Amino acid sequence: MANPGSFATIILADHRGVTQSEQYRSWHSFSFGQYQNPHREAPRALRAFNEDTLAGGQHISHSCDLNATVLLLPLVGGISVHSSGKSWSIEAGLVLALPLQAAESYRIENPYTDELVSYLHIVLPSSEATEPCLYPFDLGKNTDQLLPILEANHRLSIGQFGGRVDVEHTLNQVTNDAFVFVIDGVFEVQNRLLHRRDALLLPAPEKLEFEALSEGAILLVLEIK
């Protein structure tokens, strides 16, 4: 695999690292926790990009070893998040941005007794002190375009597309790296074919060109300063 930051890097869904138990499973696009791979180091401004699953009624706790912003985006079901005496309930169509100080912990729970939940778990190093915030989005009302969810140090966008829809997306800054993750469906991104849960890391592209190759395909784009 190419060194992130030098060449475009494809991360296939079934080549991700994994941490799992009977209650919890986490697919890691980059080295994280007990999964350490020298060929899978995240770019400096992205500490982790994980797809996590919790069994019914289960919970998992994490802490950061540096000041960071954690982004949590439910994919199936919803989750409850607890940190510093505060709680949030997040369902599909919401993203929680949770700023944390070094060594501060947070707990994620599955509120459903008999159902699995899954969610994206993204960790971005950040020294800016901000308040936790929920960001809504509606894929059904705004199709065939990337919707900006979060625009701060980094820009997070998501979109649902019909088959054979071409899109050209300009990044906020030329120096930004782009991490592209296929939530569902099939896309061709920068002339590379990506299927469900595949990802592509692009160092400092001026623009992002992609085409949805299946109906209802969903793409997530994280622009990393």
In a domain, 40, yes or no: yes
Query: Band of the pLDDT at 82, cuts 50, 70, 90?
Result: very high
**Strand 117-125 to 133-136 pairing:** unpaired
Q: What is the pTM of this model?
A: 0.92
Domain count, the chain: 2
Per the DSSP assignment, residues forming a β-bridge with 95 are 135
Final residue of a structural domain among 135, 169, 204: 135
Distance CA 224, CA 146 (A): 16
Higher pLDDT, 117 or 205: 117
Find tokens 């395909």 and name the residue.
217
Q: Decide: residue 89, CB within 10 A, 0-12 exposed, 13-18 middle, 19+ buried.
A: middle
Check: CB of residue 60 under 8 Å from CB of residue 110.
no
Distance CA 13, CA 16 (A): 6
Please report the sign of the dihedral spanned by the C-alpha atoms of residue 88, residue 92, residue 93, residue 97: positive
Check: CB of residue 180 under 8 Å from CB of residue 208.
yes
Query: Band of the pLDDT at 2, cuts 50, 70, 90?
Result: very low
pLDDT of residue 163: 84
Same domain, residue pair 125 and 142: no
Residue 107 sits in a domain whose CATH number is 2.60.120.10
